[in-house]
């Protein structure tokens, strides 16, 4: 199945990755979560090309992830303020960062997420919406909804199979 078809068939993961899946977009979002909200700050902090930064910010604003807010009395200088939609992505980014710390970095990492109240490390958890239990990776199954459309896959014992 093609990537575009996954998006067209309403794969939530494909749609999410299409919006935020490249490394620059995730770094821009993370910067804004941590107070680096102005175009020139993001450009300097990330070392990103101006045109690339502008295109990523425009897309995130259009998608509802950021509000563009003028600052300093200028109609051409903006701060990019994360919306509730954007803030709901933070646990995912924390989970990705923790995974990277645990599996990809050989030395102590340069930064990590901590709880402001006690200084403890923050981690993301997967929790069942119905019962509230934390869920391990071996307790998760994929559910395919019957939409009446043939999308070329089936799920057998929690595993995707092409048909």
Calculate mean pLDDT across residues 130-140.
90
| pLDDT tens-place string over residues 69-84 | 999 888 889 999 999 9
The answer to whether 156 and 141 have CB atoms below 8 angstroms apart is no
pLDDT band of residue 155 (cuts 50, 70, 90) is: low
Backbone angles phi, psi at 88, to 5 degrees: -70, -15
Say if residue 83 is exposed, middle or buried (CB neighbours under 10 Å; 0-12, 13-18, 19+).
Answer: middle
pLDDT of residue 109: 74
pLDDT band of residue 156 (cuts 50, 70, 90) is: low
Question: In angstroms, how far is CA 129 from the centroid of its own chain?
Answer: 20
pLDDT of residue 138: 84
The per-residue pLDDT of the chain, averaged, comes to 86
pLDDT of residue 163: 55
User: Right CATH number for 3-88+125-162 from 3.40.50.11860, 3.30.1490.100, 1.20.1260.10, 1.10.10.10?
Assistant: 1.10.10.10
């Amino acid at each position: 199945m093609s990537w575009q078809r996954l998006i067209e068939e309403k794969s939530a993961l494909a749609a999410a990755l299409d919006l935020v899946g490249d490394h620059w977009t995730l770094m821009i979002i993370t910067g804004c979560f941590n107070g680096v909200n102005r175009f020139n700050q993001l450009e300097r902090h990330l070392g990103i090309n101006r045109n690339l930064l502008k295109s990523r910010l425009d897309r995130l604003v259009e998608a509802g992830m950021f509000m563009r807010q003028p600052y300093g009395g200028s109609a051409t200088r903006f701060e990019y303020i994360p919306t509730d939609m954007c803030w709901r992505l933070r646990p995912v980014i924390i989970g990705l960062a923790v995974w990277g710390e645990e599996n990809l970095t050989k030395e102590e990492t340069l930064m990590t997420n901590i709880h402001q109240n006690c200084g403890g490390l923050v981690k993301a958890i997967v929790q069942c919406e119905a019962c509230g239990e934390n869920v391990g990776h071996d307790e998760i199954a994929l559910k395919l909804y019957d939409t009446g459309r043939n999308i070329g896959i089936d799920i057998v014992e929690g595993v995707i199979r092409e048909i």
